[in-house]
Amino acid sequence: MSKVRVLVGTRKGAFILTSDGKRETWEVSGPFFTGWEVYHLKGSPADPNRIYASQTSSWSGQVIQRSSDGGKTWETPGGGITTTPQGFPKGESNKFVYDTSAETGKPLTTHQFYDGTQHPWEFKRVWHLEPSLDDPDAVYAGVEDAALFLSTDGAHSWKELSGLRGHGTGPKWQPGAGGMCLHTILLDQKNRGRIYIAISAAGAFRSDDAGKTWRPINRGLKSQYIPDPTAEIGHCVHHIAMHPSRPDVLFMQKHWDVMRSDNGGDSWQEVSGNLPTDFGFVIDVHAHEPETIYVVPIKSDSEHFPLEGKLRVYRSRTGGNEWEALIKGLPQRDCYVNVLRDAMAVDSLDKCGVYFGTTGGQVYASADAGDSWTPIVRDLPSVVSVEVQTLP
Amino acid sequence: MIRVILPAHLRTLAHVEGEVELEIQGQVTQRSVLDALEARYPMLCGTIRDQVTQKRRPFLRFFACSEDLSHEPPDAALPKAVVNGTEPFLIIGAIAGG
């Protein structure tokens, strides 16, 4: 029977929740990396036992962890204990060095700071890890300050894909309240050279040559909080989702507005439709129905909790515009949690399972595509990210 | 023998319990202590000082002999009591909570 493994990153460690295909009873393991913020964990599609985790803290910076046994044990790649100062390895799995131009050695570019001045890029943390579709040792990292890094040696070392920062609009990027982070990385299964990324607050970008060159894909986005609401750059994209079978169709939860693109991001249309509020962070797509999408509407940009204290997932079976509230099993009074951008995922069982975590420490699961919900756990630390692996 | 006391989270990361003892050739300074520490425990690289700039991470402090040595130059000699192992070199995480 199939199994499901839910990888949960929280403000104080990581947890792994496992169940069989029925998804009725769950085993909780962890916490792993206790006391550290775990922004993201994700398993390799090429080897589900290979999982990468971003472990970070304001005190001690960034650590990358890697498991090769499905999360039972972890190691810092290249960080083993040595007996002599000349020993190997080097401990560079958390060394994220921004590229500088070969000619001058100076920073490739600066970005706009909160006060409007130009500011050099400073590495703070890894927000998102996206393992390669084919190679367990290859993994992309989206970092703050916004940049994209790639490791091809199992996270021992990292190299920036600097064409993104260097393509020209970098000086116009600026941090949102949560920092200037590259939080979304989508790999196109059909066109292996195509990568989508999103940055708060710069917008969405696409590469068609495996990350060498990039272009902004923000036409159709309207953001009233920037001087030119339809500018090429400056939009606070919160998350983008894609169904693997239709990689040209993208769904976006923006700071405000739920958007859709049918041409790989070349243009976007709003599909907020009858949502009670179109602010939110997460968005995801049903595993088997490419036009079925999920969001969790949040009241506003300053009130990060559900409307009226009622936690409701909204589902559209029409790719947007027409939405239905899913409430069965979710708290419908006095609920003031948030659901952060990387905290929703789906499994690929039949029926499709949907999962999300809250800042109140609950992880909710639906084994029937959202019709009903059950908390797997209720009292974890604040949940930052949720990923799901469907295992044979 | 130089004695180093790590914050709890870094002891966990380095898989050590209690104090770390290091043999250091030459002058005993912040830099030489941290170089030896990171050489033996590579997973600590970047967690006490920045991987690139080698500056102390802002929320960590260096104490020894009841003194705050955090702002001393990295190549300044550490106190004799640290050098002869009478006193430990403490790496302390800033107090924060809520």
pLDDT band at A107 (very low <50, low <70, confident <90, very high): confident
Handedness of CA A56, A57, A63, A68 (dihedral sign): negative
Q: How far is A75 from chain B (nearest CA, A)?
A: 9
In a domain, B35, yes or no: yes
- Nearest by CB to residue A89, choosing from B13, B42, B47, is B42
What is the mean pLDDT of the segment spanning B62-86? 97
Chain A residues touching B42 at Cβ < 8 A: 76, 78-82, 89-91
Query: Which residue range(s) make up the domain with B55?
Result: 2-93
d(CA B50, CA A62): 10
Task: Decide if A294 contacts A371 (C-beta within 8 A).
Answer: no
Q: Dump the DSSP string for A192-259.
A: TT-EEEEEETBEEEEESSTTSS-EE--TT---TTSSSTT-SS-B-EEEEEE-TT-TT-EEEEESB-EE
Chain A residues touching B50 at Cβ < 8 A: 61
CATH number of the domain enclosing A304: 2.130.10.10
Q: Dump the DSSP string for B12-65.
A: HHHT--S-EEE---S--BHHHHHHHHHHH-GGGTTTSB-TTT-PBPTTEEEEET
Rounded to 10 degrees, the C-alpha dihedral A202/A204/A207/A213 comes to -10
The verdict on B36 touching A (C-beta cutoff 8 Å) is: yes
Residue of B nearest to A60 (CA): B47
d(CA B46, CA B54): 8
d(CA A221, CA A238): 13
Task: Decide if A202 contacts A238 (C-beta within 8 A).
Answer: no
* Residue A207 Rama label (left phi>0; alpha psi -120 to 50; beta): beta
Nearest to A54 by CA among A43, A66, A71, A68: A66
The verdict on B1 touching A (C-beta cutoff 8 Å) is: no
Neighbours of A243 (CB within 10 A): 22
Q: Domains in chain A: how many in total?
A: 1
d(CA A128, CA A140): 8
d(CA A315, CA A338): 18
The two three-digit tokens of residue B16, written as one number: 């050590």
Q: What type of residue sits at position A45?
A: P
Interstrand relation of A51-57 and A269-270 (parallel, antiparallel or unpaired): unpaired
Residue A83 pLDDT > 80, yes or no? no
ipTM of the complex in this document: 0.90
CB contact under 8 A, B51 and A95: yes
Q: What type of residue sits at position A221?
A: L
The pLDDT > 70 percentage for chain A reads 97
Handedness of CA B79, B83, B86, B91 (dihedral sign): positive
DSSP A48: T
**Predicted pLDDT of residue A89:** 63
**Predicted pLDDT of residue A177:** 82
CATH number of the domain enclosing B30: 3.10.20.30
Query: Among A11, A32, A60, which would you mutate to test the B interface (most chain B Cβ atoms within 10 Å of its Cβ)?
Result: A60
End-to-end CA distance of chain B: 38
- Nearest by CB to residue A59, choosing from B46, B51, B57, is B57
Q: What are the angstrom distances between the C-alpha of A302 and each of A204, A255, A306?
A: 23, 11, 12
CB contact under 8 A, B39 and A82: yes
Residue B98 pLDDT > 60, yes or no? no
Interstrand relation of A181-187 and A269-270 (parallel, antiparallel or unpaired): unpaired
- Nearest by CB to residue A85, choosing from B36, B46, B96, is B36
End-to-end CA distance of chain A: 7
Q: What is the pLDDT of residues A351-372, one digit of tens each?
A: 999 999 999 999 999 999 999 9
Predicted TM-score of the model (pTM): 0.95
Residue of A nearest to B33 (CA): A85
d(CA A119, CA B52): 18
CB contact under 8 A, B46 and A94: yes
The pLDDT > 90 percentage for chain B reads 91
3-state class (DSSP) for residue A307: helix
Chain B residues touching A62 at Cβ < 8 A: 46
Chain A residues touching B7 at Cβ < 8 A: 59-60
The verdict on B21 touching A (C-beta cutoff 8 Å) is: no
In a domain, B26, yes or no: yes
Identify any residues that bridge with A55 across adjacent strands, giving them in sequence order: A38, A63
- Nearest by CB to residue A60, choosing from B15, B41, B57, is B57
What is the mean pLDDT of the segment spanning A198-222? 97
**Predicted pLDDT of residue A167:** 87
What is the mean pLDDT of the segment spanning B46-73? 95
Q: What is the pLDDT of residues A266-325, one digit of tens each?
A: 999 999 999 999 999 999 999 999 999 999 999 999 999 999 999 999 999 999 999 999
In a domain, B98, yes or no: no
Q: Domains in chain B: how many in total?
A: 1
CB contact under 8 A, A81 and B14: yes
Query: Which residue range(s) make up the domain with A160?
Result: 3-391
Residue of A nearest to B12 (CA): A33
For residue A201, is the peptide bond before it cis, meaning its omega torsion is within 30 degrees of 0? yes
Chain A residues touching B36 at Cβ < 8 A: 85
In a domain, B40, yes or no: yes
Q: Which residue has the tokens 């409307």?
A: A307
Q: What is the pLDDT of residues B77-93, one digit of tens each?
A: 999 999 999 999 999 99
**How far out from the chain centre does Cα A208 lie?**
20
